[in-house]
A and B are shown apart, each in its own frame.
Chain A
Amino acid sequence: MIGATMQNLAVGAALAAAALYLARRAWKRVTAARQPRSGACGPDCGCDH
């Protein structure tokens, strides 16, 4: 069984990981937009560029 403390720790880690992932993704998008070729197409736009 997972105790309350362990659950809280796991939740804290998950929240931090999600926030870090989204921040990193936003940063990558900003830097990619500055590149002359890769442009707006992020990893999820679907145009394969």
Chain B
Amino acid sequence: MTAAAGPVPAPPPRPTTRPLRVALVGNPNCGKSTLFNALTGRRQRVANFPGVTVERAEGEYRTENGAVEVVDLPGTYSLSPESPDEAIALDVLLGRATGVPPLDVIVIVADAENLERNLYLATEVLELGRPTVIALNRVDRLERAGLQIDVVELIHELGVVVVPVVATRGEGIDRLRHAIDRAVSLPRPALALDESGEAAAAPDSAHAAADRDAQRRYRWIARVAERTITRRAPRAASWSDRVDAVVLHKVWGPLIFLGLMLLVFQAMFSWAQPLADGIQALVALTGAGVRAAIPPGELRSLIVDGALGGVGSVLVFLPQIAILFLFIGILEDSGYMARAAFVMDRYMRPLGLHGKSFIPLISGYACAVPAIMSTRTIQQPKERLATIMVVPLMSCSARLPVYTLLVAAFVPAVAVGGVLSLQGLTMLGMYLMGTVAALLAAAVFRRTLLRSETRALIIELPPYAVPSVRVLGNSVWQRVRLFLRRAGTVIFSISILLWGLATYPRATPVDGRPVTQEQQLSQSALGTLGHAIAPAVRPLGYDWKIGVSMVASFAAREVFVSTMGTIYGVGHEGDDTKALGQRLRQERDPVTGRPAYTPLMAIGLMAFYVFALMCTSTVTMTHKETGGGWTGARWAALQFTYMLVLAYGAAFLIYHGGLALGFGGGA
């Protein structure tokens, strides 16, 4: 590669004092968001697969000439949008997006390793005649790829400034900022493509005209590439090709994917347990400290049984959340995710789903809200809608505390085959149950309400990369921060309110005998509410405590755990050293004296949480992404209803099927 180097001279002052508006545009997975983060210092999500950014993101930086507002756009291969995310990029570029002021400068981010493909979009953007800069990203990979790019010649051919950058390391960023500052004062680009031959002929159809236009661009790109790109002799199969031969294999590929998933769930139990025990001990220590500092009374009970009992029981699951996101980050950043989509396409196609649906489905393991947004990369509207309808069946991280609590309490910590933990396998089973249900539900939607032809999958396989520690650390930290914020706000507030409901009104003593904690709980507002709910959950084998926790968890799924924590905190005052799982295991039915909760009930309850849509954010996002208004409301209502029916039906079948098979019931 050849490029000018040396100190950056001061750019001329800008004509106005308002912020300069800059947009980053480029092919998917060319590093736009990484460049956006490098320019603005923000922490926009980045990963090594196409289609991570599906909504515009805005940030700002300052130079000596004033503020620069940067818009990061979803990736697009051309200015003829084929999917909703590409349409967003085009609307911003053409100044059609509502609430977005016109752009001053367009920065085309081009992947140096795939320059020819990236130049197609560049030709279209340059023809807009707007001040433009090209950021030639990933120039550090050229040597390894056996490529050399003559940047000076490229500048000459394109008629705009080309700045080599390595966005991941922040190299060339100052030079790019300088080029952006100068771009408005430079002559506008005037690209002259080949106009000879059939290009001048009268078009016989819009399709034929578009075809001729594409050929014209490819001819021009081929000529530019010939002058600017030098290739060493092509190498034999690279290590990446050899890895792909195994990872993309029709037999080994799915097995490797399943093996990786198994590893994640094994690690979540084995690695997280010591940390979870540490947090549990810390919560118990805090409780003991509060007991020592505050005399017996309402406030002490509120803090220990309400706040600590509720929030503490959820905080214990922080290590599991961190490990889950660490693994998701590794899969995303290594380049494996796009390959997994390719492998799974074979199995998704007969069900009517597109391979591109796989990435939103896997993203659903983290959170359904961004996963639903990421369906914008799917071109075919009915395929997209089917994916939106089933994404919430993928077990998101909010379900993790519920699964972990019940698995740890009711599944013995024994090894299967001497290697695999039964708890980890049960956890994997829950995730697989959700995944299989999502695929089957999609098949039903695609054969009924959302019938259409399934398109072939065309997906760019990104190069393998060692996951960046910084990116992984940021990804895990963002999720941990979010979890802590949720615990410290929503779950904390709900725990306090539930404590109030479980404590008041005070039960009146009968025959002068003191009121027991269990009687107080049963006669409280929460107990009254729970007894009202009980008939609805009794067919599933649950008591009023589980019923009221299930209803409370419509606010957020983790609230199930915190509600149980508060109920058992109030009901067992002075006994905060025991983990919630242990209390559930030891709970006895006051009438029969048998265990109140059994493994069969726990499996049924987990199945309920696998299928139920208990997340207002997801319902609202479905409404928005399916068209809003009444149309969106109908899809959101259908999604909520079918998932609730599935959840109730599955829990009912598991409980009664188990009883019929002699596995034993509960309360």
Q: Which of B298, B367, B555 is close to A47, meaning CB atoms less than 8 Å apart? A: B367
A21 touches B298 (CB 8 A): no
Which of B61-69, B107-115, B272-280, B479-487 contacts the other chain? B479-487
- Are A46 and B479 interface neighbours, CB within 8 A? yes
When the two chains form their complex, are residues A8 and B298 in contact, meaning their CB atoms are under 8 A apart?
yes
Q: Name the segment of B141-149, B208-216, B380-388, B618-626 touching the other chain.
A: B618-626
Indicate if the CB atoms of B493 and A39 lie closer than 8 Å: no
Among B369, B370, B618, max chain A CB count under 10 A is at B369
The residues of A that contact B486 with a CB separation of less than 8 Å are 44
B367 cross-chain contacts in A, Cβ below 8 A: 45-47
Given known A-B contacts A21-B489, A29-B616, A46 and B297 have beta carbons under 8 A apart = no
A37, B99: Cβ atoms under 8 Å? yes
B47 at the interface (CB under 8 A from A): no
Interface residues of B in 462-483 (CB under 8 A from A): 478-479, 482
Check A4 against B496 for contact (C-beta < 8 Å). Answer: no
Q: Which of A6, A18, A36, A42 has the most CB of B within 10 A?
A: A18
A2 interface neighbour in B57, B299, B370, B493, Cβ under 8 Å = B299
B-side contacts of A28, CB under 8 Å: none
The answer to whether A41 and B621 touch across the interface, beta carbons within 8 angstroms, is yes
How many interface residues does chain B have, given as a range?
Answer: 35 or more
Contact B490 A44 (CB under 8 A): yes
Q: Please give, as numbers and ranges, the residues of chain B lying within 8 Å of A43 by CB-CB distance.
A: 485
Q: Does B447 contact A (CB under 8 A)?
A: no
Say yes or no: is B55 at the interface (Cβ < 8 Å to chain A): yes
Chain B: which residue is nearest A4 at the CB level?
A: B297
- What sequence of 0s and 1s flags, for each residue 257-276 of chain B, a beta carbon within 8 Å of any chain A beta carbon? 00000000000000000000
Of the candidates A4, A22, A39, the one whose C-beta lies within 8 Å of that of B620 is A39
B44 sits at the interface (CB 8 A): yes
Q: How far is the CA of A15 from the CA of B297 in the complex (A)?
A: 15
B624 lies within 8 A of A33 (CB): yes
Residues of A within 8 Å of B45, CB to CB, are 48
The answer, yes or no, to whether B205 is at the interface (CB within 8 Å) is: no
Q: Does B92 contact A (CB under 8 A)?
A: no
Which residues of B lie under 8 Å from residue A36 when comparing CB positions? 98-99
Q: B97: nearest residue on chain A (CB-CB)?
A: A37
Contacts of B478 in A (CB 8 A): 46, 48
Q: A39–B302 contact, CB under 8 A?
A: no
Of A1, A14, A40, which is within 8 A of B621 by CB?
A40
CB closest residue in chain A, given B555? A22
Q: Bound complex: CA of A42 vs CA of B617, how far in Å?
A: 7
| A2 CB contacts on chain B under 8 angstroms | 294-295, 297, 299
* B366 at the A interface (CB under 8 A): yes
Distance of A22 Cα from B495 Cα, bound (Å): 11
Tell me, in angstroms, the Cα distance from A19 to B16 when the chains sit together: 49
Provide the residues of chain B in CB contact with A44, threshold 8 Å. Answer: 482, 485-486, 489-490, 556, 617
Contact A7 B298 (CB under 8 A): yes
A18 — which chain B residues lie within 8 A by C-beta?
A: 492-494, 496-497, 500
Identify which of residues 393-438 in chain B touch chain A, using a CB-to-CB cut-off of 8 Å.
Answer: none
Interface check B93, CB cutoff 8 A: no
> Do residues A45 and B497 form an inter-chain contact, with CB atoms below 8 A?
no
Complex formed: what's the CA distance from A48 to B340 in Å?
Answer: 25
Contacts known (A33-B624, A44-B485, A45-B617); A15 close to B295, Cβ less than 8 A: no
Q: In this assembly, does B373 line the interface, its C-beta being within 8 Å of a C-beta of chain A?
A: yes
The reply to whether B500 and A15 contact each other, CB–CB distance below 8 Å, is yes
Question: Which of A6, A21, A25, A46 touches B369 (beta carbons < 8 Å)?
Answer: A46
Contact with A along B86-123 (1 / 0, CB 8 A): 00000000000011000000000000000000000000
- Return chain A residues, CB-CB under 8 Å to B585: none
Q: Pick from A4, A8, A43, A46 the residue with the most CB of B within 10 Å.
A: A46
Number of interface residues of A (CB under 8 A): 31
CB distance from B53 to the nearest CB of A (A): 11
Q: Are A39 and B624 in contact (CB under 8 A)?
A: yes
In the assembled complex, the Cα of A10 lies from the Cα of B618 at a distance in Å of 36
Once bound together, how far apart are the Cα atoms of A17 and B373, in whole Å? 34
Which one, B299, B493, B497, contacts A10 given CB within 8 A? B299
Of the candidates B302, B497, B617, B618, the one whose C-beta lies within 8 Å of that of A22 is B497
On chain B, the residues within 8 Å of A37 by CB distance are 99
Residue B300 CB within 8 A of the other chain:
yes
Least CB distance from B56 to A in Å reads 9
User: Judging by beta carbons under 8 Å apart, are A49 and B55 in contact?
Assistant: yes
Shortest CB distance A5–B (Å): 10
**Quick check: B617 and A40 within 8 Å, CB to CB?**
yes
* Nearest CB of chain B from residue A37's CB, rounded to whole Å: 7
B496 touches A15 (CB 8 A): yes
A13 to chain B, nearest CB (A): 10
Q: Mark B37-72, 1 if CB is under 8 A from A, else 0.
A: 000000011000000000101000000000000000
CA distance A15 to B492 in the complex (A): 11
Q: Which of B98, B302, B485 contacts A14 (CB 8 A)?
A: B302
**Across-interface contacts of A39 in B (CB, < 8 A):** 620-621, 624
CA of A36 to CA of B558, assembled, Å: 29
The interface residues of chain B lying within 8 Å CB-to-CB of A1 are 295
Q: How many whole Å from B540's CB to the nearest CB in chain A?
A: 27
> CA A46 – CA B479 in complex, angstroms?
7
Interface contact B299-A11, CB-CB below 8 Å: yes
Tell me the bound Cα distance from A44 to B98 in angstroms. 26
Determine the distance from Cα of A6 to Cα of B295 in the docked complex, in whole angstroms: 11
Q: Are B496 and A40 in contact (CB under 8 A)?
A: no
Per the bound structure, the CA–CA distance linking A25 and B373 in Å amounts to: 22
Q: A7 CB to closest chain B CB, in angstroms?
A: 4
Task: List 18 A-B pairs, Cβ < 8 Å.
Answer: A2-B297, A2-B299, A7-B294, A7-B300, A8-B297, A11-B298, A17-B493, A18-B497, A22-B490, A25-B489, A29-B616, A39-B620, A39-B621, A40-B623, A41-B621, A44-B482, A45-B621, A46-B479
Sample of 14 further A-B pairs with CB below 8 A, known A11-B302, A29-B616, A49-B57: A2-B297, A2-B299, A4-B298, A8-B297, A11-B299, A11-B500, A22-B493, A22-B497, A29-B617, A39-B620, A44-B482, A46-B369, A47-B373, A48-B44
Closest 4 CB pairs of A and B: A40-B620, A47-B370, A7-B299, A40-B621
